[in-house]
Amino acid sequence: MIRARAYLKDLYRSLRMSMDKVTSKKKDKIQPKKATLIIASHYFPWQKKVLEVLSGCTITAENQIFDDWKKVFKDDATLDKEVMKKSLAFGSYIMVNIERSNYEELIIILG
């Protein structure tokens, strides 16, 4: 429950910052009326691969990944560029969450 609350708090902050960024550029100051949150019941195969690669990496005491996990995706010739780009972005997102919390976060995600 605590993780869900923290996630929603971060999401709200992110949405607010994005909205401020968009509305600051426009003269009309159009205000969005609603946002839609989509929750998936499973990960895509490329997301599962990212999580598996990250779980196999060495995590330091400061919750930093020691291994070069990005190299796995950059060297994979079977991935098209769009999937590789999504994989790297998703991996970076997960890394930020691991650095903020702890290694158990990744174990819970994989669980």
Q: What is the rounded average pLDDT of the residues 75-87?
A: 85
pLDDT at 58: 74
Reported confidence tier of residue 5, pLDDT bands at 50, 70, 90: confident
Reported confidence tier of residue 28, pLDDT bands at 50, 70, 90: low
Rounded Cα distance between 12 and 10, Å, is 5
- Per DSSP, what are the bridge partners of residue 65? 59
pTM: 0.57
Yes or no: say if 65 and 54 are a contact pair by the CB < 8 Å rule: yes
pLDDT at 20: 78
pLDDT at 30: 65
